[in-house]
Amino acid sequence: QVQLEESGGGLVQAGGSLRLSCAASGRTGSRYAMGWFRQAPGKERQQIAGIGWNDYDSWYSDSVKGRFTISRDNYKNAVYLQMNSLKPDDTAVYYCAAHSSSRTVLVGRQLYDYWGPGTQVIVSS
């Protein structure tokens, strides 16, 4: 079993930056694929970034490409999301997710096995 916990959310002005962290604990290895999702009020949860075993094996949704960067530290069992040039439309609860065995990046919420409780990000105008 793997437990995930996000941190780093908060209130930021448009154009600002935030760095989200996701710490994994429990029975976890260093090769699992990780992803970041977000869910705005009244909308479905959608994936915005994913990463495989290596940092270069990554994926981004069109809405965040060029502004967000996903990275990982396998030694620390952590994944990060650097968010720059934030917009009010980025306001959402952000979740990290993990797969227990895949080494390659995964795109699609049905592919992930474990989820964190989420952290709120609010971007003001």
Residue 75: the pLDDT is 80
pLDDT in tens, 66-100: 999 999 987 888 999 999 999 999 999 999 999 98
* C-alpha to C-alpha distance for 43 and 90, rounded to whole angstroms: 12
Q: Which two tokens stand for residue 84?
A: 């720059």
Nearest to 98 by CA among 15, 35, 19, 6: 35
